[in-house]
Amino acid sequence: MAGKVPALVAYIISFTARGKPGWCLSDCNANNATCSPASDLCTKGADYLRQNFTSDVLPRYQTFAQGFAAACGTTRPIIWEMEPDFYQYYAAAQGGGTRGQPGGPLSVAEAVNYMTQMVATVKQYLPNAVFSMDISPWMPSNGCTWYPNFNMSDFTFIHTSGGNTSAATAAIRTANTMTWAGVHAVTGKPILADTGYGNPPGPDANWDSPTNINARIADGVVSIMQYSPTASTWATAISQNRPQLNAVSCY
């Protein structure tokens, strides 16, 4: 690991909500058999976050940050990709509150507050961390009413997650209107394209195409992540592709 830059996806709200007794919240598209279909992050995620942020979510960030600091030190860079699908707690059809609490989706101010606190908690233990903000591709207007609310100077990158991102089209997902270039223009941030894990998992051959990668480099992508690439061909794919790739802009 010497010299390498670890990058991790902090999907902490979702995973703490999934395992919390009495909540059992699945991903919105996962149809978790152990949970009621209505009990997913799109319907009760905001309520869960309000009631468990201080007791569950923030301490988990603290634990992980302390763990990485102990294992890797606090001088080497580490990339934290914050909370995939974070937009769902604001925009989805979040239901009423439980346990005597008012419900509804997060306000923008709440969403900004929680994100800022999570980043600050990691920074407290890992001053060397570099942060990336979630791209939820179903945001309208390339996120132009979402990102400017956040303290974007906390973030060096923005990132996709969950797979199904399109290498061959201007749109991040063909079912959504957001484009790679559009969200890059709105934020001014370089994009880490997470292309593989999720549903369905596995490497996406479209992201091995130099033509596709160069098109996305022009759109602001500076990195791709393939999930479980084929071990016997991956090194060859990289060495063959690299000389064919255009220079990445500096931002």
Partner 1 sequence: MAACHSNARVEPLLAFTERTVDLKVAFGETGSQDAALTGRLATEARLEVESIDPPGIEVAVLPGSQGQPQGLRLTLHAVQVGRVAGQVVVTTGLEKPRELTLLYSWEVLGNITVDPTNPFIDLYGPGEGAVVLTVSSRRADFRLDAAEVIEGPFEATLSRDAPAPGYVVRVRAVPSHIPPGERGSLGRLRLISNDPAEPRKEVPLFALGGS
First to last CA, the chain: 27
The binding track of 78-107 with respect to partner 1, each residue x by CB under 8 A or -, is ------------------xx--xxxx---x
Under rule CB under 8 A, residue 189 binds partner 1: yes
Stretch (H or E) spanning 111: helix 108-125
Q: Can you spell out the DSSP letters for 74-139?
A: SSS-EEEEE-TTTTHHHHS-----STT---SSPPHHHHHHHHHHHHHHHHHH-TTEEEEEE--TT-
CB of 192 to partner 1, least distance (A): 10
Query: Of the ranges 19-27, 155-163, 208-216, 228-236, which one interacts with partner 1 (CB under 8 A)?
Result: 155-163
Say how many C-beta atoms besides its own lie within 10 A of residue 145's C-beta: 12
Under rule CB under 8 A, residue 152 binds partner 1: yes
Using CB under 8 A, count the residues that bind partner 1: 43
For 19, the 3-state DSSP assignment is: helix
Nearest to 40 by CA among 85, 8, 83: 85
Rule CB under 8 A: choose which of 29, 31, 36, 54 binds partner 1. 54
Based on CB atoms, which residue is closest to partner 1, 4 or 22?
Answer: 4
Rule CB under 8 A: choose which of 110, 177, 202, 214 binds partner 1. 110
Torsions phi, psi for 79 (to 5 deg) = -100, 125
CB of 222 to partner 1, least distance (A): 6
Based on CB atoms, which residue is closest to partner 1, 52 or 177?
Answer: 52
For 159, the 3-state DSSP assignment is: strand
In the complex, the residues that contact partner 1 under the rule CB under 8 A are 2-5, 54, 75-77, 96-97, 100-103, 107, 109-110, 112-114, 116-117, 120, 128, 130, 151-153, 155-157, 188-190, 222-223, 242, 246-251
